[in-house]
Structure 1
């Protein structure tokens, strides 16, 4: 009996020893909190994710990045969902945290997820050429968007007196949504009934009959901006996409968007505003602006 008890004790000891010396397993990373936004106000206990870590605010804070101010407590790495400090899984060269830095005062309508959801409509956008060219094109698009919308603040055109002017009744389809329905909307401020018709046809969305979708659905809004960027030359001689991927330079994107008013000395201050923002964005993305910046 004593021998049997001793054998059991010996066996249990071996099991305990095995358990004690098993290598520790690494716990899975916590889910990432919503990405830090420089324009948001965080109270004590507020959570945000930044550069792959979750952070907790110790007290009221705004525009103080986690990791750079004592107000934030590091809660450790997070692994679920998109790491806001890294490129999106869609392959977009601008991360969510970089997007937030570009547009610190943006309207909540213009979501990063809406932008990345829209990218599938034009798979060549910011994915053509070298890494430098991809970043330059993304920066060029977002710099022009910044200028057109006051930093992604405005969803619709602010001058309501212009609204009735955007109906070209000579078109066979007319203006079924109403005379004043085709005012500027979205990141490139899509306007005119014929542009709503063309964009809707290209995207498979009835924008001629229901142009309000552009101010109600973030992904649709972003798609209209990408439609213009990738397919329209406007007053220029090439699309903005072709201008960036074929080396014509940022200046030609300005010409294609608003060149009839701004280029050739028409409004040099507006041109310079676009250039300054483009330079800031390429620097944020870690690349250079290239040549031919003005028009």
Structure 2
């Protein structure tokens, strides 16, 4: 399970539980245990969280066993869960642990009928872009009334109309419940907020800036009991929702407000800030051009270009046309027959369109199409491990019983032949057990006053209509989680952290469900390089890399995703072996020769200081003494080896870092609670 990529789990039908009370048997290394089983080991009782064999109870912090009681007493009733399959999450950048139980599927559920649209009475306010709505507001859109499920702003250009965003609106509602059309929210241009960045293994920091240390989630393997005659439930027709385009707006009143005092006499000029920033470039990597390459990799296209992407359109960007050339719709269906219906081929193409560096054209002699195939195979192999059903006996007949997985391609397949696990990726859209509006209080680092983390200031949590902080549980193929990951992703796309912090559901329901994973592939998690550099040959290993057992190949991408858990242990972890098996299948299907490529990471030591691929891009307050400034303050920021909200990879972040640490004040509920000007 990754402590850098949180690929969380989506909600599935409720389990049917039966209670069994029995004396716990002694643990046996050769016995296969499934989720819920209790054993005794070393005088203590342990319960299996998912499938396990050979894992010693209590020996692994994030392993498949959890301590439940002393073996001297009668064990508590153990719930034997029978439900749909649960796959393993990996973490989105810098996340907290979530273990997913393994479950046994029963008869597939039948989806509840969809309510017919409610005719609109003449008094309904007409939905309008730019307006802010609160939970319970009723509007008219295309002749149908809709009720808002949560508070949100319909950003101009985002096309978050009621028909396209079922997580924000539901059909129906009394027109009397609404008043006049809300006035559009003023669009205010604000100073850029903090830099997105995530690190798998942050180093302890010398300043007060908090470091978010990720904890892993475990990887379950589901032992399935297929249903002989599944209930076939019609799949909802996939609709391609439009992701938001927004102009940065000021923080909502309930969020911390960052203000700045006037620049004191002698404060650096813009030219001096630029010179100081550029002076750090040579320290950021193996050569002074590293920052330039990173910034090029992080470029994004306007949403107007992305939203215009259609399969087969001659106007599609060049990297999208390359993906279409090497991965047809038919091949996509073959690879992901049991994907959640929101993971569409068109959404994949739009996610690719947003980031020109993914499957780009190389002009230095490298084979662009071959690199694209390899990059897709790499991404898909990690999808299979992290978001797949991992259900060995899963058949098309069984999968068709789940409305969210009932893709049309399943009807064309042999109904009773098990689908290989490498083709079971993208089963999960949302974290297991989570639905929009649930999970309040989870996956949050929210500002509550003095003493709150710097991340809670720059990636301030949104609130629902009841004043509760929103939940940032895992969503999308990246299973992005925690507000300090939604904020950076939002800033990378829109220059405004609030867009996705205030509306996290769109990470699941629009093309952002693929864009989040592609963002991770092109973004460096310092000191780790972008995954694209490992795949496309940008990284040329040096003697330090060779000594660390690091070389370009699939194994290094596993290290980037989940190195702290799966790599460097001396032998290959089971999760890594699963990834490798899937990678071999995808590369074979795409015609990529991987002979001689390093696929493993069991003996790899990572991107340490001196590595040709290692990066240092985080920024923190400069503590050096400058006799020329009042009180000897430095009025500078320095490179750090731990995570902060400021990143040299983002133009303007150096000045933002200095401004915050020397001129910044944080106000909360009208009072200054943090004062960096003293």
TM-score normalized by the length of structure 2: 0.29
CA distance in 2, matches of 1:195, 1:267: 29
What's the RMSD between the two structures over aligned residues?
2.8
Q: Which residue of 2 aligns with 1:241?
A: 532
Task: Give the alignment of 1:101-116 within 5 angstroms.
Answer: 101-116=334-349
Cα offsets for 1:116-155 (capped at 9, x unmatched): 1221111221235413222111110111122221111100
| 1:225 equivalent in alignment to 2:530 | no
| 1:154 equivalent in alignment to 2:428 | yes
Q: Is the 2:462–2:470 contact (alpha carbons within 8 Å) kept by the matching residues of 1?
A: no
Task: Give the alignment of 1:170-209 within 5 angstroms.
Answer: 170=453, 171=455, 172=457, 173-177=459-463, 179=469, 181-204=471-494, 206-209=499-502
Q: Which residue of 2 aligns with 1:122?
A: 355
Q: Which runs of 5+ in 1 are unaligned?
A: 1-40, 42-80
Q: Is the 1:136–1:288 contact (alpha carbons within 8 Å) kept by the matching residues of 2?
A: no
How far the C-alpha of 1:192 sits from its partner, in A, is 1.4
CA distance in 1, matches of 2:573, 2:470: 31
Q: Which residue of 1 aligns with 2:443?
A: 166
Q: Is the 2:320–2:353 contact (alpha carbons within 8 Å) kept by the matching residues of 1?
A: no
| 1:287 equivalent in alignment to 2:287 | no
| 1:271 equivalent in alignment to 2:545 | no
| Alpha carbons of structure 1 residues 159 and 252: separation in structure 2 relative to 1, 3 Å | farther
Q: Is the 1:132–1:288 contact (alpha carbons within 8 Å) kept by the matching residues of 2?
A: no
Q: Which residue of 1 aligns with 2:375?
A: 137
CA distance in 2, matches of 1:117, 1:182: 23
How far the C-alpha of 1:108 sits from its partner, in A, is 1.1
CA distance in 1, matches of 2:358, 2:471: 29
CA distance in 1, matches of 2:440, 2:577: 28
Q: Is the 1:261–1:267 contact (alpha carbons within 8 Å) kept by the matching residues of 2?
A: no
Q: Is the 1:145–1:152 contact (alpha carbons within 8 Å) kept by the matching residues of 2?
A: yes
| Alpha carbons of structure 1 residues 208 and 232: separation in structure 2 relative to 1, 3 Å | farther
Q: Which residue of 2 aligns with 1:91?
A: 322
How far the C-alpha of 1:165 sits from its partner, in A, is 4.7
CA distance in 1, matches of 2:333, 2:524: 27
Q: Which residue of 1 aligns with 2:623?
A: none
How far the C-alpha of 1:179 sits from its partner, in A, is 4.4
Task: Give the alignment of 1:38-77 within 5 angstroms.
Answer: none
Cα offsets for 1:57-100 (capped at 9, x unmatched): xxxxxxxxxxxxxxxxxxxxxxxx749xxxx9722021111111
CA distance in 2, matches of 1:179, 1:148: 27
CA distance in 1, matches of 2:558, 2:442: 23
How far the C-alpha of 1:276 sits from its partner, in A, is 0.8
The number of equivalent residue pairs is: 211
CA distance in 2, matches of 1:163, 1:280: 40
Runs of 4+ aligned structure 1 residues displaced above 3 Å come to: 159-165, 177-180
CA distance in 2, matches of 1:163, 1:274: 33
User: Which of 555, 561, 564 lines up with 1:251 in the alignment?
Assistant: 555
3-state SS of 2:502 partner: coil
Q: Which runs of 5+ in 2 are unaligned?
A: 1-231, 233-310, 314-318, 389-424, 447-452, 540-551, 602-678
Q: Is the 2:487–2:500 contact (alpha carbons within 8 Å) kept by the matching residues of 1?
A: yes
Q: Is the 2:320–2:349 contact (alpha carbons within 8 Å) kept by the matching residues of 1?
A: no
